[in-house]
Structure 1
Amino acid sequence: MEGGGRRVVAVGAGLAGLGAAQRLRGHGSLRLLEAAARAGGRVCTRPFASGLAEMGAHWIHGPSPGNPVFCLASRYGLLGPEAALEENQQVEAGGHPPMPSVTYGSSGKVLNPKAVREARDLFYALLASTRAFQGSKEPPWPSVGQYVRAEIARTVPTMAGGQEDARRLQLAVLAACLKLECCISGTHSMDLVALEPFGEYVSLPGLDCTFPGGYSSLAERLHSDLPEGTVLLNKAVRTIQWQGSFREEGDDARVFPVRVECEDGDAFLADHVIITVPLGFLKEHYEKFFQPPLPERKAQAIRNLGFGTNNKIFLEFEQPFWDPEQQLLEVVWEDESPLEEPSTDLEASWFKKLIGFVVLQPPEQHGHVLCGFIAGKESEHMETLSDAEVLSAMTRVLRTMTGNPSLPAPRSVLRSRWHSAPYTLGSYSYVAVGSSGDDIDVLAQPLPEDPRDPRPLQLLFAGEATHRTFYSTTHGALLSGWREAERLNQLFQVPVPAPQS
């Protein structure tokens, strides 16, 4: 067997683990251990209403030739015809896809589109200006949130021609923009997101698109391409012992440096283990998960980086109350301002963190379904409520916004609960205040650290949180899996297998 019959174990069968397995095929023996009952990790499609709901990853962000998820999905024939259009691949959306939208205010009226647009343009200009601080030794503020708020405070007196009502409306829209940015960054507050490295994140060109057959169709295809028995489901790992000398019963000749012990008592000996578990899981368990403990530099990187929650609430309606061309219903609480402290009473006001609803398209496939997005502590509080409580809160919000007290309640609700998912403990990573892109690189470094170690690459690290410019994305996760497979291929001196169509 090529690769000297080396044994590789990957922990986690999300896109990073599946991607690593895809590139490692054909040498050594490979096992993918997945704690859940399905492969895919934070890619998770469920049936809802008459269509599908993406509980995790939703869009291909930047579907263009530089995006490996887009390229794989195209090759597998998993995308709709519009995704292949040349002009759609060239759109520079900057991570904020332009959608036909309507903005409702808490006074029960649709807000003036011109005023909304002006406030939003200001916000995006401020976000774009954060790139100037990349590599700066002394950024003016530690966080994106503090910088943006200081700039708003400086600009606001001259905004809206000095009219108080118009100024208040612009501040309310800016507060809503910050909430949306929390969803995009997967954080409770932009005050937690570091300013200096914020510009390192790279947005790819292309108009975000979805999978007609669900995002899970990609994970399923990657899974089914692997040899039978490669992926073991319901195999939660308890500890990874490395730097050891482990032998199998009845075979004293082979010594393995790593032993992976599962919760069910099974153990797997390996030469190399690729760890692709989410950063949220590592934060909670890294001290007990590795024996001996990780080097302090690696542990510090795990502690430094941010990992937050962004959840979705899907609502199905008998009939739409929105216009057919509307794709995004935004929600603005007109008494809010980014210059005032938000309420910390989660019980009373958690639903105000909701940024609004995306209309699932096309209705012929999905039925009349809205998908709400909510991040942070409020999102985590939502996970503790019953379906009936969430449905009731959403109905109140929609009746308030539309000014229609008899708007029919949704007929059903489905929501994600990523914070309470035991093997994820949140949604995705961000570069937190006190950390930098260097922490991402440290997290991605294989162990042992000494390049002269006779048993190299015992532990390799992949997953979205290990990709310096594409963290928080599926393409970052996939590329990180390929990166670690490539490391092993080079060690084994194995030619890269030709891509399977």
Structure 2
Amino acid sequence: MLILKGTISQMQIQLRGWTGSKNMPKKGPKVVVIGAGIAGVGAAGKLLTQGLTDVQIIEASSQPGGRIRGSLFGKSTIDEGAQYIHGASTKNPVYQLAKEHDLLQETHDRLFPNLLQKLLEAIPREKLLLKKPIKQIQWNGSFESGGSSVYSVRVVCEDGDHILADHIIVSISLGCLKANGQAFFQPRLPEQKLSAIQSLGFGTMNKIYLEYETPFWDENTDVIGLVWEDETPFSVQKPNLTEWWKHVPVFYVIRPTERYGHVLVGTISGKEAEFVESLNPQEVASRCTYLFRQFTGRSSLPELKSVYVTKWFSNPYTRGSYSHISITSTGAMIDQLAEPLPQATEGSSSPMLQVLFAGEATHRSYHSTTHGALLSGWREATRLIDHYSTK
């Protein structure tokens, strides 16, 4: 005897919009989202609110957010990654969401973590699995669940768990795809997609936070710039990792002081950003103290209280900061990266849309941005919703 629990209204909500769809599996579609950055969270939230309720997010790290992350430093929380809304307009969904939730007046450290929490409100806690790194994505298969259900995709996790699905949305970073793209997928990704992954640029930008007990700058200072008079703009492009500090031309004063204390932040990118990750905080503090004493001519300039350097390159779940169009890549490669698998071929009988791809690197117009990541997640969710809509 089969016993169904739940009220009529609950079942109506779950089935609403899908009755009679010729594309609908009898068991209902199961979707797994890999990665709980803003792309993955956005995709899962849209699927759930549109009636596809069998959704599971698996995230490798201990917290959702991906490259939206904050850490305690000084007297408050600082942004390690995403910090800006690129373009304050009605066409920018991040700006629109921040406006709707009255977050535009928030300081930068609170805007993105709070915005992420608003998006997570649409996702029941049990549908988000943390500390669940994946080992392999097996697709184009026929995997039995122990009952009568057969799935075309299986996700093998590092802890040995197997998660079956009709569809998966891969929203991990391009850096991870570059490092593990061939090993992650079985069967192997098509050559065109592998070529796009390797050709597209993915760089590193890190932040260097400096905290002082007392400031050496006056209260009206917002920016501290370091100008090297004996060098041309081209000479600093020559790689010399031991002089990494020459690639941090500006430090910004974090405001308000009442919240953060006396804190400066500078950014560094490229190979120098990767190199800085190998230094200990004392080495960074010593160099920055020397620099400021040299530039100000004040040997009594105070020592640093603490230092914090982000480490996006050595993070195994990011392998860098964000994508860019390199000299070896084209916009068409971004489209190729976003193309679902299996790719449509004449006479193919494989279930379509088994593996879908999201993330800022898959958005041709807004790559490298937070709203590009969110839009890409919504795009893939819409692709599945349209697939199952009644024709």
Normalising to structure 1: TM-score of the pair?
A: 0.70
Counterpart residue identity of residue 55, structure 2: L
| Partner secondary structure for residue 291 of structure 2 | helix
Q: 1:458 aligns with which of 340, 354, 357?
A: 354
Task: Please tell me whether the aligned partners of residues 212 and 304 of structure 2 are also in contact (alpha carbons under 8 angstroms).
Answer: yes
Counterpart residue identity of residue 382, structure 2: E
Instruction: Tell me which residue corresponds to 1:132.
Output: none
Q: 1:445 aligns with which of 329, 339, 346?
A: 339
Task: Please tell me whether the aligned partners of residues 258 and 458 of structure 1 are also in contact (alpha carbons under 8 angstroms).
Answer: yes
Instruction: Tell me which residue corresponds to 1:14.
Output: 37
Deviations 1:348-398 (A, max 9, x none): x11111121121121122111111100111111110011111111111122
- Structure 1 window deviating more from structure 2 (266-275 vs 43-52): it is 43-52
Instruction: Tell me which residue corresponds to 1:84.
Output: none
Counterpart residue identity of residue 359, structure 2: G
Distance 1:59 1:402 in 2: 31
RMSD, matched Cα: 1.8
Instruction: Tell me which residue corresponds to 2:7.
Output: none
Instruction: Tell me which residue corresponds to 1:317.
Output: 212
CA apart distance, 1:454: 4.5
Displacement over 4 Å in runs of 4+? 451-454
Q: 1:42 aligns with which of 55, 58, 67?
A: 67
CA apart distance, 1:340: 3.4
Instruction: Tell me which residue corresponds to 1:484.
Output: 380
Q: 2:196 aligns with which of 301, 305, 311?
A: 301
| Partner secondary structure for residue 319 of structure 1 | coil
Counterpart residue identity of residue 144, structure 2: R
Identity %: 47
Instruction: Tell me which residue corresponds to 1:215.
Output: 112
CA apart distance, 1:33: 0.5
CA apart distance, 1:213: 2.3
CA apart distance, 1:336: 1.5
Instruction: Tell me which residue corresponds to 1:86.
Output: none
Instruction: Tell me which residue corresponds to 1:468.
Output: 364
Counterpart residue identity of residue 326, structure 2: A
Task: Please tell me whether the aligned partners of residues 170 and 358 of structure 2 are also in contact (alpha carbons under 8 angstroms).
Answer: yes
In structure 2, relative to structure 1, the CA distance for the partners of 1:61 and 1:282 (3 Å cut) is same
| Partner secondary structure for residue 276 of structure 2 | helix
Instruction: Tell me which residue corresponds to 2:57.
Output: 32
Instruction: Tell me which residue corresponds to 1:254.
Output: 149
Task: Please tell me whether the aligned partners of residues 200 and 325 of structure 2 are also in contact (alpha carbons under 8 angstroms).
Answer: yes
| Partner secondary structure for residue 22 of structure 1 | helix
Distance 2:222 2:112 in 1: 20
CA apart distance, 1:58: 1.4
Number of matched pairs? 364
Distance 2:331 2:359 in 1: 15
| Partner secondary structure for residue 10 of structure 1 | strand
Counterpart residue identity of residue 21, structure 1: A
Distance 1:80 1:340 in 2: 41
Task: Please tell me whether the aligned partners of residues 39 and 220 of structure 1 are also in contact (alpha carbons under 8 angstroms).
Answer: no
Please state which structure has a larger fraction of its residues in helix.
1
CA apart distance, 1:35: 0.1
CA apart distance, 1:322: 2.4
Instruction: Tell me which residue corresponds to 1:233.
Output: 130
Deviations 1:251-288 (A, max 9, x none): 0x221110001000111110110000000000000011
CA apart distance, 1:339: 3.7
Task: Please tell me whether the aligned partners of residues 316 and 368 of structure 1 are also in contact (alpha carbons under 8 angstroms).
Answer: yes
Instruction: Tell me which residue corresponds to 1:143.
Output: none
Structure number with the bigger relative contact order (C-alpha 8 A, sep ≥ 6) is: 1
Alignment partner of 1:243 is 2:140: yes
Instruction: Tell me which residue corresponds to 1:151.
Output: none
CA apart distance, 1:221: 2.5
Alignment of 1:58-457 (within 5 A): 58-80=83-105, 210-211=107-108, 213-249=110-146, 251=147, 253-340=148-235, 342-347=237-242, 349-450=243-344, 453-457=349-353
CA apart distance, 1:224: 3.2
In structure 2, relative to structure 1, the CA distance for the partners of 1:63 and 1:326 (3 Å cut) is farther
Q: Which runs of 5+ in 2 are unaligned?
A: 1-13, 19-23
Task: Please tell me whether the aligned partners of residues 238 and 262 of structure 1 are also in contact (alpha carbons under 8 angstroms).
Answer: yes
Task: Please tell me whether the aligned partners of residues 16 and 481 of structure 1 are also in contact (alpha carbons under 8 angstroms).
Answer: yes
CA apart distance, 1:48: 1.3
Distance 1:66 1:233 in 2: 32
Q: Which runs of 5+ in 1 are unaligned?
A: 82-209, 496-501
